Amino acid sequence: VVLALLGLSDFTAVSLSDEIARIYWAAQVPVRLLFLFVVTGYTYAFKPDGMLAKAGVGYKAGMGEGLKNRLVFTWGFLEVAAWFWVFISLRDERRQAGIRLIEKRKAEEDRL
């Protein structure tokens, strides 16, 4: 359900104008990257044979047990890679837009 909600909100954002879409994605991408990095790191660090895994006779399963599997780690890792690519692309696009704006302002100053 959460993935469907995120997918629908992404499709809605795609239909926005370029200026508004840039603002939306500039806010969304870092938050998603942080969340996915935390989930993937948690899955890796606390997996049953991981660095910080608790096990033993008196071990009681906790709330995040469903996240500690290979499927969640693979999904998180691929999502982090994809969203990092989007983050880099947005940063490059923002830099190019800034260069175009500077050139436009310089051309306007030359006309005066």
- Summarised one tens digit per residue, pLDDT across range 44-79 is 888 776 667 666 545 566 666 777 788 889 999 999
The predicted pLDDT at position 62 comes to: 65
Whether residue 19 has pLDDT greater than 60: yes
Question: Is residue 76 exposed (0-12), middle (13-18) or buried (19+ Cβ within 10 Å)?
Answer: buried
Q: Backbone phi, then psi, for 47, in 5-degree steps? A: -60, 160
Whether residue 33 has pLDDT greater than 60: yes
Radius of gyration of the chain (CA): 21
The predicted pLDDT at position 78 comes to: 95
What is the model's pTM?
A: 0.72
38-72: buried (b, 16+ CB within 10 Å) or exposed (e) per residue? ebbebbbebbeeeeeeeeeeeeeeeeeeebbeeeb
